[in-house]
Structure 1
Amino acid sequence: MKIIYSCLDDYDMAIDDFIIEYETFPVIEKDEEHICDYCKEKSAYRLRKTEDVADPSDDMV
């Protein structure tokens, strides 16, 4: 699972890139401990995929 880190200025571009790559919306979390993947400034957000949840119908016999 790839995580995209973005600063406030590159936030829109990060969301667009995530949707293009994964064809779904990201989970967006505050993150000020990493570096922006676009400009190398301090990150403000972490964008990641939701964990795959098992389909309850898989349990049916």
Structure 2
Amino acid sequence: MQGKSKNACEEHMDMAFDDFLIENEAFPNLCEAADEKCSYCDKKAKYVLKEASEI
């Protein structure tokens, strides 16, 4: 995983959101994923959670 972003499939969206908030103490921007894999499993990620500075 690069930077402070989290990739998440639909199954792990809640976990990624919680982890992002804890690790960054900031609300993430939600973007659609292109060809990334989920940060928690090998499924295709549907979303990428990023800090505002990463957009």
TM-score for both structures, normalised by structure 1: 0.78
Q: Which runs of 5+ in 2 are unaligned?
A: none
Name the counterpart of 2:18: 16
| Count of aligned pairs between the two proteins | 52
Q: Which has the larger radius of gyration?
A: 1
The DSSP-based 3-state class of the residue aligned with 1:21 is helix
Q: After TM superposition, what 4+ stretches of structure 1 lie above 6 angstroms from structure 2?
A: none
Give the CA deviation at 1:32. Answer: 3.8
Q: Which runs of 5+ in 1 are unaligned?
A: 52-61
Measured on the aligned residues, the alpha-carbon RMSD in Å equals 1.5
**2:4–2:24 Cα contact (<8 Å) kept:** no
Name the counterpart of 2:39: 37
